[in-house]
Chains A and B, each alone.
Chain A
Amino acid sequence: QQQVKQSPQSLIVQKGGISIINCAYENTAFDYFPWYQQFPGKGPALLIAIRPDVSEKKEGRFTISFNKSAKQFSLHIMDSQPGDSATYFCAAGTLGSRLTFGEGTQLTVNP
C-alpha cells in the first residue's frame, strides 16, 4: 500500500511543448503530494506540491492536477524549455513523515 507508480519512464518533448508526467498511489492515508526535479549529480529540488483538498495548483509554468477518487496526480510543464531537461520524481507522504517516491521520469526537451 506504500507504492507510488510513475509514468512514463522517459519523455522527449520539443521546446515550447507541454510535458505531462503521471503518478498513481495506493495508500489513502497520503495527504501531501510533492514533485521534485533532479539534475545529474545533484539532490532533488522541491518543485511544487499539492494537498488533496484542491484539484489543481499552478506555479508559473508548472501545474499539478489531482484526482482524489482515482488516486492519481500529474505534473504539467507548459512551454517546456531545454533547461527543464532533468529527472522528475513524484512523491506522496503524510504530515511530518516519510516520503514515498515514484521511480522517476527522465525528461528531455529538444531545442
Chain B
Amino acid sequence: ETGVTQSPTHLIKTRGQQVTLRCSSQSGHNTVSWYQQALGQGPQFIFQYYREEENGRGNFPPRFSGLQFPNYSSELNVNALELDDSALYLCASSPRQGTIYEQYFGPGTRLTVT
C-alpha cells in the first residue's frame, strides 16, 4: 500500500509568482486536506477536498486555491506569492468512511519565496 506522496520536494519562487503543489492520496482514501506549517509552528489548516468538492476552508485568502481529481489526487495553487508564504506545505489523506477520523500526512513540499 502506497502512502501519501507530494511533489515537488523543494521549490524556490519569487514574490508575485504562482505555484502549484501536488499530492497523491493513500490508496483507498477519498479525502485530502492541505496544511501550511511555518518554521517552528504547528500545521495550519488551509482547506479540505472530498469527492472533488471543497469541504471546509481555514483562514487563508482566496489566492490559495485547490483541486481534487477523480483519482482523489489533489493540487494546491497559490497566486501572487508573498514572502510569508514560505513554509512546509503538507497534504493529508483520510478514508472518509463512517467514523474514520485519521489523517495521514505526506512528507511535504518546502516552499521558499524570495
Q: Are B43 and A101 in contact (CB under 8 A)?
A: yes
Q: Which residues of B contact A93 (CB under 8 A)?
A: 101
CA distance A36 to B90 in the complex (A): 13
Q: Does A99 contact B (CB under 8 A)?
A: yes
| Whole-angstrom CA separation of A103 from B40 in the bound complex | 8
Please report the C-alpha to C-alpha distance between residue A5 and residue B43 in the assembled complex, in whole angstroms: 13
Q: Does A61 contact B (CB under 8 A)?
A: no
Number of CB contacts from chain A to chain B under 8 A: 61
Knowing A97-B56, A104-B42, say if A34 contacts B102 (CB, 8 Å): yes
In the complex, which of the residues A6, A89, A96 contacts B43, with contact meaning CB atoms closer than 8 Å?
Answer: A89
**Which chain A residues border B100 with CB–CB below 8 Å?**
96
Judge whether B108 is part of the interface by a CB distance below 8 angstroms: yes
Give A46 to B56 CA distance when docked, in angstroms.
22
Minimum Cβ distance to chain A for residue B84 (Å)? 18
Question: Which residues of A have CB within 8 Å of B107?
Answer: 41-43
A44 to B90, CA, bound (A): 9
Q: Does B66 contact A (CB under 8 A)?
A: no
Q: Are A98 and B102 in contact (CB under 8 A)?
A: no
Contact of B16 with A by CB under 8 A: no
Of B50, B58, B101, B107, chain A has the most CB atoms within 10 Å of the CB of B101
Complex-state Cα separation, A83 to B108, whole angstroms: 22
Binary CB contact string for chain B from 91 to 104 against chain A (1 if under 8 A, 0 otherwise): 01010100111111
A100 to B104, CA, bound (A): 14
B105 lies within 8 A of A102 (CB): no
Asked whether A49 lies within 8 Å of B42 as measured between CB atoms, the reply is no
Interface flag for A54 (CB, 8 Å): no
Closest CB pairs A-B (n = 6): A101-B42, A43-B105, A98-B45, A32-B101, A43-B107, A44-B105
A residues in contact (CB < 8 Å) with B: 6, 32, 34, 36, 41-46, 49, 89, 91, 93, 95-104
